[in-house]
């Protein structure tokens, strides 16, 4: 299977099984925007929960935040986005198409012309107005990154939680960028969700904390079942770094369209807190409780894309296997990410006893395990459908179950089947999630 076939298959599966739909598709769609369907919503939520658990709940030194998308416009002056968050664009003079200058190789890719307009800067922030007046005083931006919501709350969080350095603030939320060329399915979109941590530390600690976070973030993907050979770290060269950054390393995934960034871990030095101090007039320095020394903390920023991670987990989970001369498509999601953990299936949907028992089992399990009841096809077809969405176990109720109170548990990856007694079923399932 070549790479473009693989990507086509994944996009088709996402639509067919309700993971991802094109936004406003009945109107012809909106370029660069996507909707998560019933299973996609579960999958993405599981990705976010796994991230939050790993970086907030399992870290005594990290707390969470949920800042608003709309912020005071001076935020973006201070961060540099108003002046510098731009792409350089040119127009083809012949066919009038618009291109990013850095994507052009001398000739217009559409008509071949070599005549272009003067390059000009195009700001990528999406603008809107708040309140009833639509003039320059009411302009605000949809945030282009969640990070600034954290920086402007640094002092609030420090005061409210009595934190001492080093400590981090983590946030998941939507961001918006007016990308000129969105593409590669949900990889580059104009509306997207970020998972960001700003980890504040002493300048002298920053190099070590930077290394620790790179390793921790790389391991997070591995711990959730991503294949190691599809992941790599790429350190940015000096010419790629923002002027204030002391280092940046990307976690990259081998997508069918090539190695691409999932997440960047940057040492942002003390740039952000200094800038916000200067623009707000508020002193955002940290005062050491022992020495009383005042200084601006350094910041290590692991910044991941939730949609990108979700897409990478989808790609990595996709498997085709030959079983009895038929192709079995199976999504081998880690159990923490699988949208459905258990499907309870009646072998005979016209047998009232079997149906009643299957529904009772589903009702008992769902208090602790995400599960579904399905009787919309014959058992072989139901197994294939559950494989295709990555359901970890199928529990089948048959005539025998009514007599011996046992059911058949089928394992997704091995297709191994075990006969399990009902009173030990929940424990059996929980013991075998791995
Ligand atoms: Zn042209």
Instruction: Report the separation in Å between the CA atom of 30 and the middle of ligand 1, taken as the mean of its atom positions.
Output: 24
Within a domain: residue 279?
yes
Domain of residue 136, residue span? 3-70+132-314
Instruction: Report the separation in Å between the CA atom of 184 and the middle of ligand 1, taken as the mean of its atom positions.
Output: 23
Question: What is the 3 state secondary structure string of the chain?
Answer: CCHHHHHHHHHHHHHHCCCEEECCHHHCCCCCCEEECHHHHHHHHHHHHHHHHHHHHCCCCEEEECCCCECCCHHHHHHCHHHHCEEEEEEECCCCCEEEHHHCECECCCCCCCCECCCEEEECCEEEECCCCCCHHHEEEECCCCHHHHHCCHHHHHHHHCCCCCEEEEEEEEEECCCCCCECCCCECCEEEEEEEEEEECHHHHHHHHHHHHHHHHHHHHHCCCCHHHEEEEECCHHHCCCCCCEEEEEEEEECCEEEEEEEEEECCCHHHHHHHHHHCCCCCEECCCCCCEECCEEEEEEEEHHHHHHHHHHHHEEEEEECCEEEEEECCCCCCCCCCEEEEECCCCCHHHHHHHHHHHHHHCCCCCEEECCCCCHHHHHHHHHHHCCCEEEEECHHHHHHCEEEEEECCCCCEEEEEHHHHHHHHHHCCC
pLDDT over 90 at 361, yes or no: yes
Within a domain: residue 30?
yes
50 and 184 inside one domain: yes
Within a domain: residue 102?
no
Instruction: Report the separation in Å between the CA atom of 110 and the middle of ligand 1, taken as the mean of its atom positions.
Output: 5
Instruction: State residue 105's pLDDT score.
Output: 82
Instruction: Report the separation in Å between the CA atom of 96 and the middle of ligand 1, taken as the mean of its atom positions.
Output: 6
* Mean pLDDT in residue range 79-102: 90
Within a domain: residue 94?
no
280 and 395 inside one domain: no
Instruction: State residue 102's pLDDT score.
Output: 84
307 and 345 inside one domain: no
Instruction: State residue 27's pLDDT score.
Output: 97
* Mean pLDDT in residue range 152-177: 97
Instruction: Tell me the CATH number at 287.
Output: 3.30.930.10
Instruction: Report the separation in Å between the CA atom of 357 and the middle of ligand 1, taken as the mean of its atom positions.
Output: 66
Segment 293-326, tens digit of pLDDT: 999 999 999 999 999 999 999 999 999 999 989 9
- State the pTM of this model: 0.94
231 and 290 inside one domain: yes
Mean pLDDT score of the chain: 95
Task: Name the domain count of the chain.
Answer: 2
Instruction: Report the separation in Å between the CA atom of 27 and the middle of ligand 1, taken as the mean of its atom positions.
Output: 28
293 and 347 inside one domain: no
Portion of the chain with pLDDT greater than 90, in percent: 89
Instruction: Tell me the CATH number at 380.
Output: 3.40.50.800
Instruction: Report the separation in Å between the CA atom of 178 and the middle of ligand 1, taken as the mean of its atom positions.
Output: 22
pLDDT band at 135 (very low <50, low <70, confident <90, very high): confident
* Mean pLDDT in residue range 372-383: 96
Instruction: State residue 133's pLDDT score.
Output: 81
pLDDT band at 409 (very low <50, low <70, confident <90, very high): very high
Instruction: Report the separation in Å between the CA atom of 84 and the middle of ligand 1, taken as the mean of its atom positions.
Output: 27
Instruction: Report the separation in Å between the CA atom of 116 and the middle of ligand 1, taken as the mean of its atom positions.
Output: 8
Within a domain: residue 399?
yes
Segment 246-279, tens digit of pLDDT: 999 999 999 999 999 999 999 999 999 999 999 9
Instruction: State residue 370's pLDDT score.
Output: 96
260 and 211 inside one domain: yes
* Mean pLDDT in residue range 180-204: 95
359 and 246 inside one domain: no
Instruction: Report the separation in Å between the CA atom of 32 and the middle of ligand 1, taken as the mean of its atom positions.
Output: 23
Instruction: State residue 1's pLDDT score.
Output: 73
pLDDT band at 70 (very low <50, low <70, confident <90, very high): very high
pLDDT band at 26 (very low <50, low <70, confident <90, very high): very high
Instruction: Report the separation in Å between the CA atom of 48 and the middle of ligand 1, taken as the mean of its atom positions.
Output: 42
- Domain limit, last residue, from 280, 314, 348: 314
pLDDT band at 226 (very low <50, low <70, confident <90, very high): very high
Instruction: Report the separation in Å between the CA atom of 90 and the middle of ligand 1, taken as the mean of its atom positions.
Output: 11
Instruction: Report the separation in Å between the CA atom of 108 and the middle of ligand 1, taken as the mean of its atom positions.
Output: 5
Instruction: State residue 141's pLDDT score.
Output: 96
Instruction: Report the separation in Å between the CA atom of 85 and the middle of ligand 1, taken as the mean of its atom positions.
Output: 26
Instruction: Report the separation in Å between the CA atom of 260 and the middle of ligand 1, taken as the mean of its atom positions.
Output: 28
Instruction: Report the separation in Å between the CA atom of 189 and the middle of ligand 1, taken as the mean of its atom positions.
Output: 25
Instruction: Report the separation in Å between the CA atom of 111 and the middle of ligand 1, taken as the mean of its atom positions.
Output: 4
Instruction: Report the separation in Å between the CA atom of 104 and the middle of ligand 1, taken as the mean of its atom positions.
Output: 11
């Amino acid at each position: 299977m070549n790479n473009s076939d693989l990507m086509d298959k994944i996009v088709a599966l996402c639509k067919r099984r309700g993971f991802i739909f094109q936004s406003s598709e009945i109107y012809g769609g909106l370029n660069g925007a996507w909707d998560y369907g019933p299973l996609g919503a579960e999958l993405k939520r599981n990705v976010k929960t796994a991230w939050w658990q790993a970086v907030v709940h399992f870290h005594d030194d990290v707390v969470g935040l949920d800042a608003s998308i709309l912020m005071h416009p001076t935020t973006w002056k201070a961060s540099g986005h108003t002046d510098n968050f731009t792409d350089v664009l040119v127009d083809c003079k012949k066919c009038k198409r618009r291109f990013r200058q850095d994507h052009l190789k001398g000739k217009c890719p559409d008509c071949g012309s070599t005549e272009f307009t003067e390059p000009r800067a195009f700001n990528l922030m999406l603008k809107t107005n708040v309140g009833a007046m639509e003039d320059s005083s009411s302009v605000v931006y949809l945030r282009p990154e969640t990070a600034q919501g954290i920086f402007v709350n640094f002092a609030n969080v420090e005061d409210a939680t009595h934190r001492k350095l080093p400590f981090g603030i983590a946030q998941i939320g939507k961001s918006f960028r007016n990308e000129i060329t969105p593409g590669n399915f949900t990889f580059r979109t104009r509306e997207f969700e970020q998972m960001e941590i700003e980890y504040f530390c002493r300048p002298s600690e920053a190099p070590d904390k930077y290394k620790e976070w790179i390793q921790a973030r790389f391991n997070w993907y591995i711990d959730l079942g991503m294949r190691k050979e599809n992941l790599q770290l790429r350190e940015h060269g000096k010419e790629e770094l923002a002027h204030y950054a002391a280092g940046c390393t990307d976690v990259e995934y081998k997508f069918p369209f090539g190695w691409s960034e999932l997440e960047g871990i940057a040492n942002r030095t003390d740039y952000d807190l200094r800038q916000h101090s200067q623009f707000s007039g508020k002193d955002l320095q940290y005062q050491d409780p022992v020495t009383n020394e005042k200084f601006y903390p350094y910041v290590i920023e692991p910044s991941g894309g939730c949609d990108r991670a979700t897409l990478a987990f989808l790609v990595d989970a996709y498997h085709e296997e030959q079983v009895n001369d038929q192709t079995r498509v199976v999504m081998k999601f880690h159990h923490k990410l699988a949208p459905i953990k258990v499907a309870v299936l009646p072998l005979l949907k016209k047998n009232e006893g079997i149906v009643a028992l299957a529904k009772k089992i589903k009702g008992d399990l769902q208090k602790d395990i995400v599960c579904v009841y399905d009787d919309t096809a014959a058992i072989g077809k139901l197994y294939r459908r559950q494989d295709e969405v990555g359901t970890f176990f199928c529990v089948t109720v048959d005539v025998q179950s009514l007599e011996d109170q046992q059911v058949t548990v089928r394992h997704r990856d091995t297709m191994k089947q075990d006969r399990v007694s009902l009173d030990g079923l929940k424990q059996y399932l929980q013991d075998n999630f791995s």
